[in-house]
């Protein structure tokens, strides 16, 4: 059956709340098998993936280190495969391999290299329980309701992120965080109802052709993912940086064709608002996403209104930005279900 242009992507974006709810229920079922794995203190945890799931690994490492107080890093699977000495500490204590498909060659090869160098535990995080990743790792966490037809990850990414948030809360012994995550599905429904029109109006403003996504701490990986959606779906010029890093050169590209999107955190909110103020003075249109619009200086604001903490509400940063990428793709006459040059899974020969 040939679907209408963009139909899969739209349905996958708009069903994220349901996928998060199903994933958190699935986590409750899977948690018992991981109790022993997650209860051990870990000195150095490595998260790895490719493309979207590398960006997810960056977000996951910042989350893990912030909640557990122990070192964590996020690395591209290709770097772990080809430059293990550069990315693995002497004694890694856990490798978390993240892959929607569970079939990406670089991720599977990174696992092989890791096994050759360390006897440490390995945990797979994936959407597909029958995948090579799921079948080859001793421990695995699988999302529910996050399967996708589209190439660009949307509900799969955010569901794996919520799953890792839940796992990290348990590893940190912080069960209130796990309970707070159960509010995310309702927050999602309210958010897309309120802000889908804004996402479309920003996408339809074809005067804006240069997209910049800024995020710091646990939101940097999410800013990279938002950038990749805009690039994959709409073939637009899109960049992502740590918030204050943007001043150190890359801002030279800002002009009246720029849309700068700020994923505002709690700790550095005032400094982040100053960056957005400066970008507006350079001609950019500014969109800010935060739990409260209070004090924001932006042309447009997305108020998450979750009441959740910075480390709990990260998934809510994505849906409006995914919709903006979808609507820009449609405005460009493209099919977001089938991004140019891309395959859903990168399989290497030889």
Q: Where are the beta strands (DSSP E) in 217-334?
A: 237-241, 258-263, 285-290, 300-303
154: contact with ligand F1P by CB under 6 A: no
Least Å distance, CB 55 to ligand F1P, is 8
Give the helix ranges, DSSP H, for 172-266.
Answer: 175-181, 184-204, 220-234
Binding region for ligand F1P (CB under 6 A) out of 101-109, 134-142, 256-264, 315-323? 101-109
Nearer to ligand F1P, 9 or 101 (CB): 101
Residue 97 β-bridge partners: 48, 124
Q: Tell me which residue has tokens 């999410």.
A: 222
Binding region for ligand F1P (CB under 6 A) out of 44-52, 181-189, 267-275, 312-320? 44-52
Cα dist. 183→163, 164, 187, 205 in Å? 14, 16, 6, 33
58: contact with ligand F1P by CB under 6 A: no
For 175-181, the CB contacts below 8 A with 24+ separation are: 177/67, 177/309, 177/311, 177/312, 180/308, 180/309, 180/312, 181/20, 181/24, 181/312
Among 23, 99, 137, 265, binds ligand F1P (CB under 6 A): 99
Binding region for ligand F1P (CB under 6 A) out of 5-13, 32-40, 197-205, 337-345? 337-345
**Strands 139-142, 94-99: pairing kind:** unpaired
Among 23, 48, 105, 107, binds ligand F1P (CB under 6 A): 107
Among 100, 155, 231, 313, binds ligand F1P (CB under 6 A): 100
Among 101, 137, 158, 168, binds ligand F1P (CB under 6 A): 101
**Under the rule (CB under 6 A), what is the footprint of ligand F1P?**
49-53, 99-101, 104, 107, 151-153, 342, 344-346
């Amino acid at each position: 059956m040939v679907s209408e242009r963009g139909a899969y992507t739209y349905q996958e974006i708009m069903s994220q709340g349901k996928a998060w709810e199903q994933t958190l229920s699935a986590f409750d079922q899977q948690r018992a098998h991981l109790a022993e794995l997650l209860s051990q203190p870990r000195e150095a945890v490595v998260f790895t993936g490719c493309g979207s799931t590398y960006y997810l690994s960056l977000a996951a490492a910042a989350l893990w280190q912030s909640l557990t107080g122990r070192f964590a890093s996020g690395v591209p699977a290709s770097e772990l495969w080809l430059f293990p000495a550069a990315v693995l500490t002497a004694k890694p204590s856990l490798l978390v391999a993240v892959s929607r498909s569970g079939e990406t060659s670089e991720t599977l090869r990174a696992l092989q290299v890791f096994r050759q160098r360390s006897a440490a535990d390995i945990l797979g995080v994936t959407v597909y329980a029958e995948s090579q990743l799921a079948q080859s790792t001793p421990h695995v966490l699988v999302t529910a309701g996050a399967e996708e037809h589209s190439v660009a990850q949307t509900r799969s990414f955010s569901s794996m992120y919520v799953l890792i948030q839940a796992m990290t809360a348990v590893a940190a012994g912080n069960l209130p965080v796990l309970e707070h995550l159960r509010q995310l599905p309702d927050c999602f429904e309210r958010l897309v109802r309120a802000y889908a029109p804004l996402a479309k109006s920003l996408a339809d403003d074809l005067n804006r052709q240069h997209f910049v996504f800024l995020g710091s701490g646990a939101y940097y990986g999410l800013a990279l993912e938002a950038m990749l959606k805009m690039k994959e779906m709409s073939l637009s010029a899109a960049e992502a940086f740590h918030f204050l890093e943007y001043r150190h050169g890359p801002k030279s590209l800002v002009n009246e064709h720029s849309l700068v999107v700020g994923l505002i955190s709690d700790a550095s909110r005032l400094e982040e608002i100053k960056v957005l103020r400066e970008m507006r003075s350079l001609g950019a249109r500014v969109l800010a996403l935060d739990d409260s619009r209070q004090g924001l200086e932006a042309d447009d604001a997305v108020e998450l209104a979750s009441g959740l903490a910075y480390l709990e509400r990260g998934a809510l940063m994505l849906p409006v930005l995914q919709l903006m990428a979808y609507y820009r793709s449609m405005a460009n006459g493209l099919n977001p279900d089938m991004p140019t040059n891309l395959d859903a899974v990168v399989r290497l020969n030889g």
